[in-house]
Structure formats: C-alpha cells, structure tokens
Structure 1
Amino acid sequence: MNPVEVVRGDGPLILGLPHTGTHVPDGILAKLNARGRVLADTDWHIERLYDGLVANATTVRATFHRYVVDANRGPDDASLYPGQNTTGLVPVTDFAGQPIWTEEPSAAEIAERKAQFHAPYHAALAAEIERVKAKHGVAILYDCHSIRSVIPFLFEGVLPDFNIGTNNGTTCDPRIEAAAVDICAASGRTHVLNGRFKGGWTTRHYGRPQDGVHAIQMELAQSTHLATEAPPFAYDEGKAATLRTTLASILGRLVALAPELKR
C-alpha cells in the first residue's frame, strides 16, 4: 500500500491528514498487543468529515496508522510538549498511557519505518506546499485532527470542541488565526486557541508565514462527530452535518484570505 495518498487541487488550501490511516503491515501488527490492535488513537472518520467541504483543495493523507510511525512527530522524536505526557514518533503507549506492544520496536525498526512511511508522507506534503505556493504565491496548510474528549493521561477535564493550534501565533498570519477563532466562537461551541494542543510537528515545521507558507492545526473533540468515543467509533451523520457547516465556513474563509496574504 502506498504510504501517502495525494489528491491535487488548484486552490491555495492544503488539507493534511496524518492520523486517519489504519494500515498496519502484518509484521508490525504481529507485535502489537490486544490493546494496541484496537487502534483506538486513530483520528476516526476525519477524511469523511472534511470531504467536499471546499472546492479545489489539495489533500495529503497518510494511509498508515500512527502506531507504525507518527507522521505528526519530528524525525528526531523531540517532544512537542516538554514536561507533559505525550506520545512519540513511534508510540510505546496509547493515549491512556498503557503499553501497546508485546515487543517494543528497536532503533533499527524505527529507522526503517521512518524511511518507509514518515519520509514519503512529508516528501509528498512538502512537494504540494511548494506547488501550491508557486501557483498562488501563498500556501495555507490546514492540518486536520481529532481526539477523544476525555483522556486523563493527556489533559484534565473535557477537551473543548475546537482546539486551534498555531504554536502561539508563529505558524500563520494573524488573520488566519482570527478567522478560525471567530467562526468557532460564532458556532456557539466550546473552543480554545493554543490550549493543550498548539499544533504538532507538521504545523510547526511547515508554518513559515514570512515565506508565504501558513499552517494551522484543528484538533476536534471526537464527541462532535462520533456516535461514541469507544469501539466501534461510529460516525454520527447528524452530529457531523452540523459540524461540517462550521468547518466549511472556516475553510472557505481561509481560501478567501489567500489573496490578501500576499500583500
């Protein structure tokens, strides 16, 4: 299976989908324990949630699961949140802090996974960013994520519905950040800017507003679009329909902003 799927669009917007993939090669699957094989930390149905929300967007989607290697972690495995619980480039626990392997991956195995999965995904994403920027003079990367709304190992209490990350305003023009915040606020849902999730490695690595590349991460609480945040992690059409309206407004506003970002 190809580690990355790219659908090219003619517009200035790129949707990154690093955590929707569920493919685990047989040799790796054999080393996951029963808990790991549930793949609970998938960004369930995010590709479906965003499908068709805005015309002419490019999508770059990882097909492999984050337990194989996390496409939203740096290749050096540096912590995104020093001093806080998190998971690494190749997670050894799930989001509940529980082991997922019968045999943890060796350094050699991790290096192989980086070469086979992580590197091709980011090569494709980087290529699309350059292509879009060459065409429009600007590229906007919107990184699409979701997570369970209650995970005590990672954060206290209940996560807001919308979690906007711009690494404290460094990864995009302020107008992009403001647009996302304003639309989330108008929806009447709970939201936060640069709260527990400030943007992963993808947002921080590619977001260079001074060079015309703007990146923003949206982490959605899965309670906004799933029937239940437990197996089988079913998609809820009714919840999703309401959410898609807000997400479409955000993406549409970002596309409309693109010409202004060149000035």
Structure 2
Amino acid sequence: MDQSAADFQGFEVREPAAQTIPFVFNSPHSGNHFPVDFLASSCLDSLSIRRSADHYVDELFADAPELGAPLLVAHFPRAYLDVNREPYELDPRMFDGPLPPYVNIGSMRVAGGLGTIPRIVAENMDIYRKRLSVDEGLSRIETIYKPYHACLRKLIARTHARFGMGILIDCHSMPGNIRLSGSDVRPDFIIGDRYGTSASAELSRAALQFFDDMGFSAVRNKPYAGGFITEHYGRPVRGLHALQIEINRSLYVDEITLEKKAEFPLVAAALSTFMRQMAEFVGEFSDGADALAAE
C-alpha cells in the first residue's frame, strides 16, 4: 500500500475493550504501508521490497484484543525502518554526509546491512538507488522510531502498574528454510528469551509445551534468541518479561508470491489458542509477578 508522507500513519494500538490479562503483543515487522518517496528511492520492485517483512503477522495475532490484551502494530515496512534495533544503528556508507558521533556504526547488524535503516532486504538485495541524506535518516528515527518505542513503553508500564507484572510477546516470522544447526530440523516456532535473561524460564517452557501439544515443532533461542526489543524490555526480576516468537512462514504464506496459503486460518486459530493458554497459565499463579520473577 502506497501513501504520501502527509498521510502516513506509522503505527496503531489495537486496544481491548478492557485489558484483562498482563500481556502486550507487538508486531513490529508486518507493516506494508510504503511512503511514496521511499518507493521512488528504491531500486527494488514492489514484491522484492517486501521480502524481509513478517508477512501478515499482525493478522495472525489479531485475536489479542478480544482476549484482553493490546496489540501494537507497525504500519511502516521493516525495509523503511527497523524498530527492533538500537535507535541509531546506522551504516555510514548509506548516507551522503557524516553521521553524528553518537551513532553506532560498528554493530554486527550494521555490517550485515540490517541496521535501524536497513541497506538490504532478504537475499542481500540492495534497497536504495543512491545514498540517503543524513536528515532523512535521522527524521525517520525522530518521527517514527522514538514515538513507536514511547508507545510500547507506555503499554508495558500501564500493564505492569495494573497487574504487578507485564509480559511482552514480540511477534515475528522467519523464512521457511531455517534449520537448526547441525540438523535437518525446520522448526515451526522459535521462542526467544535471550538465553533466559529476558523472561522467566517457566514462561518459555510453557510456550514450548503449548506449541508441542498442538503438534508443532518448537525450539528455544536457536537460531533466534530475540532482538533489541526482547533484550531491552525484558527485566524478569522486576516482573517484566519479554518473549520473541518466530513463526515459520512456510506454514501460512507462499514465500514466492507472498500470498496467504489455505492453511492461514488454521495457524491463526492455533496462535489464538496459544495466547489464551499463556494467559491461563499466568493466571494460575496467585502471586504471578513474584512466582515468575523468582524462577
């Protein structure tokens, strides 16, 4: 979907009628609203530029508000701005002038072309025809990245204040060809908790068990342990937990055409069941925050 800069709305919160569970769901990479000037600056066609998106993930988790939790949804595409990065992970080779001294130009993600403003999409395809202006890059961070994270922080803080705990589920998808190292196993789901630092082990084990009970293959942290969002917002000792969920795209989308498969409603229904089961699991703790933090 193409939009002029004036009409562009970066994100939205889909609120429940009343928040009844201590969860916040976040879909930061499923946006498909492309600013017209962004498309004009790209050397990619409309299909290629979507390759790195988490296709339809916001729709897969669409039942979250009905279950009593807010769902934060990015409308901007990941190729335009990646909020699952530090605010200033920027590649100086992408810009037509010097970057401010506080910019992180040396991260592994920048080196790989996947900084806050990505240089490439999947399969190492360059996004831009020419260098961006520094002002353009910093403007995206000021006008979209920072408000997005301010909104996410507010949702988490509100949840924590109301329930004494807050659980962020960061919702993503992964290519269908992802395998576990040294094996031919292609997991359906990967639960990331930054190797036990962003969430209680009890939550991670429960998430894995619920997927397993539904007949899916689910693993923990490999090869995706969680990105900036999971690491930044997960503070289990304070009752703040963050789990990243990666969904194998081949379960629900044709990875060539990017069209939904016939199985899409089944995957969405499974995720609705998963969200409900997670809420019920947390609700079983009479002292939810203390019990999970002590794990």
Do they superpose with TM above 0.5? yes
Partner residue in 1 for 2:68: 56
Partner residue in 1 for 2:259: 234
Q: Deviations over 1:113-136 (max 9, x none)?
A: 101111111111111111111111
For 2:201 and 2:281, the matched residues in 1 are separated by 11
TM-score by length of 2: 0.79
2:208 paired with 1:198:
no
- Length, aligned pairs only: 258
- Deviation, 1:104, is 3.4
For 2:111 and 2:211, the matched residues in 1 are separated by 26
- Superposed, 1:94-243 pairs within 5 Å as 94-150=121-177, 159-226=186-253, 228-231=254-257, 233-237=258-262, 239-243=263-267
Contact 1:95 1:151 in 2 (8 A): no
For 1:88 and 1:157, the matched residues in 2 are separated by 30
Which of 86, 110, 128 is residue 74 of structure 1 equivalent to? 86
2:9 paired with 1:2:
yes
Inter-CA distance 57–195: structure 2 relative to 1 (3 Å threshold): same
Root-mean-square deviation (CA), in Å?
2.6
Which of 266, 270, 274 is residue 250 of structure 1 equivalent to? 274
SS in 2 for 1:96: helix
Contact 1:20 1:62 in 2 (8 A): yes
TM-score by length of 1: 0.88
For 2:231 and 2:164, the matched residues in 1 are separated by 20
Partner residue in 1 for 2:4: none
- Deviation, 1:256, is 2.2
For 1:84 and 1:218, the matched residues in 2 are separated by 25
2:42 paired with 1:32:
yes
The amino acid that maps onto 1:30 is: A
Higher relative contact order (CA 8 A, sep 6+): 1
Contact 1:165 1:193 in 2 (8 A): yes
For 1:144 and 1:137, the matched residues in 2 are separated by 23
**Bigger Cα Rg:** 2
User: Where does the alignment leave 5 or more consecutive residues of structure 1 unmatched?
Assistant: none
For 1:220 and 1:106, the matched residues in 2 are separated by 35
Is the deviation greater in 61-70 or in 180-189?
180-189
Contact 2:79 2:120 in 1 (8 A): no
SS in 2 for 1:255: helix
- Deviation, 1:111, is 1.0
2:120 paired with 1:93:
yes
